[in-house]
Amino acid sequence: MTIWAGMAVPPTVFGILAAIPFLGRRRAFFTVGPRYARCVAWFCRMPLRLTGWEGLPEEIREGRQPVIFMSNHESQLDPPVLIGVLPLPAVYIAKKEVKYVPFVGWAAMVAGVIFIDRRDRERALRSIHEAALEIRGGKSVVIFPEGTRSRTGEMLPFKKGGFALAQEAGVPIVPLATVGGFQVLPPGTLRIRPGRYEVVVGEPVDPAAFQDRDALIAEVRRRIEALIAKARRS
């Protein structure tokens, strides 16, 4: 099943590229991309479930208020799953090198992914400033604050870059919990196992309410942990 999902990437990307003249770049990606994710989930017997979305303020649900979604990272499937279930277009923050990965990089550029240059501190700070301008301009983004996926199923320490970005952009952080990915696609394997994949949405956090960045990080982490526990109980 994993091989099928991988083989479907090139035709999906070509489909996105073919739709650009008719729909424009971002609309082409967010018309074709989520369909790919949902088809992979159906074919792999991996039902997707989104809960808590209705509890967000209307201006966020309708895309009038840009936000930074922050999620735990259990599996390589988390990015396509979030593309498939989130009801509004939200792009990823990715390292600049992703731009040069065949097919994946092409799709990322079409989607409007914000690339961060992390080669040195000055370039990283400039990238964060440029990303903040894009977010204030109306672009919602998704960040995995752990920086990489967990190898144990437990959350890794959070990196500070995403929180610095949220404070500079001045937009709410929406905590997310993705649950099921660690069982569906465990580390060290390419075999997708049937199983439910749930995304739980929490209440927004206002970065401006925290003068101390460490306190902001602790609060977002606490909320994501609570969402994970809630999903595992359901």
Domain ranges of the chain: 2-233
Mean pLDDT of 182-188: 86
Q: What is the pLDDT of residue 229?
A: 92
- Return the higher-pLDDT residue of 51 and 150: 51
- Return the higher-pLDDT residue of 6 and 19: 19
Q: For the domain bounded by 2-233, which CATH number is listed?
A: 3.40.1130.10
Q: What is the pLDDT of residue 76?
A: 87
pLDDT at residue 112 is higher than 60: yes
pLDDT at residue 4 is higher than 60: no
Could you tell me the CA-to-CA distances from 208 to 16, 61, 169 in Å, in that order? 38, 21, 10
Threshold 0.85, pTM exceeds: yes
